[in-house]
């Protein structure tokens, strides 16, 4: 009988990476089914043999990252996972800031992270561009949802009925460019398709901005590029591409729907 050769360092490393990737796929699948799934259902979802899934699930169960549902069979995510998330992934600002810095450096414009606060937008963090003509705004600032690109991408996550219930009619006129409610609802329909919007001096004269929504397990936010209106029109496509790329990078790392294959 010939003696089996030990695994090389590279083979062992690749095997370890494959196991981690498979375990991550199983955990993502279980995150989408909080009621739990059987081993057969997990195997079908991740396209792996049932025996492979069983070995990985047993290892995850030993670390309390997955737990059995009891006599009914099946598995769901375990309590240890929630503890890890609570201890290490609770601050959206520190998680997103490196991406905001990259976005600002790429475009040489000011960028912001915002969330909804009633019928207003609340600025949680911002990076101010290092250039002569730039937009500077304070952290903690509030602005109307209906007249800002950040507010509009978050409103697009609501139904039209919810928007009508949330916002006054008529909408407050912030500038001569501010949209009325019918025009806003039409724009929201377009945002739901494209995932991006731009405001042209709708909140403040001389200031424009583009935004995308950010969907994470910590909630729904908006990331925005804010710049002088004088140079906005010729850069809309570059801003759109940069924002969508930034959104993909962040949601791949921390989004609820990240890394699906």
pLDDT digits (tens, 9 = 90+) for 196-250: 999 999 999 999 999 999 988 778 999 999 999 999 989 999 999 999 999 999 9
pLDDT digits (tens, 9 = 90+) for 235-247: 999 999 999 999 9
pLDDT at 72 over 80: no
Q: Where are the alpha helices (DSSP H) in the chain?
A: 9-31, 39-46, 50-62, 79-88, 92-107, 149-155, 160-166, 181-194, 236-254
Mean pLDDT to the nearest integer, 27-40: 86
| % of the chain surpassing 70 pLDDT | 88
Q: Are 42 and 29 in contact (CB under 8 A)?
A: yes
Q: Are 112 and 223 in contact (CB under 8 A)?
A: yes
Identify the pLDDT of residue 60: 92
Domains of the chain are 9-86 (1.10.10.10), 92-254 (3.30.450.40)
Residue 5 banded pLDDT, cuts 50, 70, 90:
very low
Q: Which of 48-52, 89-93, 137-141, 184-188 has the lowest mean pLDDT?
A: 89-93
Identify the pLDDT of residue 248: 94
Identify the pLDDT of residue 91: 78
Q: pTM for this structure?
A: 0.67
Spell out the residues 6+ positions from residue 164 whose beta carbon is closer than 8 angstroms to its own: 181
Q: Residue 97 class from Cβ within 10 Å (0-12 exposed, 13-18 middle, 19+ buried)?
A: middle
């Amino acid at each position: 009988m010939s003696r089996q050769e030990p695994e090389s360092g590279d083979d062992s490393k690749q095997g370890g990476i494959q196991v981690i990737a498979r375990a991550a796929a199983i955990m993502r699948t279980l995150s989408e089914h909080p009621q739990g799934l059987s081993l057969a259902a997990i195997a079908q979802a991740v396209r792996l043999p049932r025996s492979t899934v069983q070995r990985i699930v047993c290892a995850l169960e030993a670390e309390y990252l997955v737990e059995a549902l009891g006599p009914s069979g099946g598995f769901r995510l375990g309590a240890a996972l929630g503890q890890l998330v609570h201890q290490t992934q609770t601050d959206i600002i520190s998680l997103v800031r490196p991406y905001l810095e990259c976005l600002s450096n790429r475009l040489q414009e000011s960028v912001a992270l915002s969330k909804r606060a009633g019928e207003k937008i609340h600025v949680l963090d911002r990076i101010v561009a290092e250039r002569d003509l730039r937009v500077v705004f304070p952290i903690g600032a509030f602005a109307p949802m209906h007249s800002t690109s950040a507010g509009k991408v978050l409103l697009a996550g609501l139904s039209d009925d919810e928007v009508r219930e949330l916002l006054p009619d008529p909408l407050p006129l912030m500038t001569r460019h501010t949209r009325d409610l019918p025009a806003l609802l039409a724009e929201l329909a377009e945002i739901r398709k494209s995932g991006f919007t731009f405001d042209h001096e709708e909140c403040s004269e001389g200031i424009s901005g583009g935004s995308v929504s950010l969907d994470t397990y910590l909630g729904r936010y908006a990331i925005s590029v804010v710049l002088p209106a004088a140079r906005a029109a010729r850069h809309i496509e570059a801003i759109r591409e940069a924002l969508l790329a930034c959104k993909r990078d962040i949601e791949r790392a921390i989004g609820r729907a990240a890394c699906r294959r």
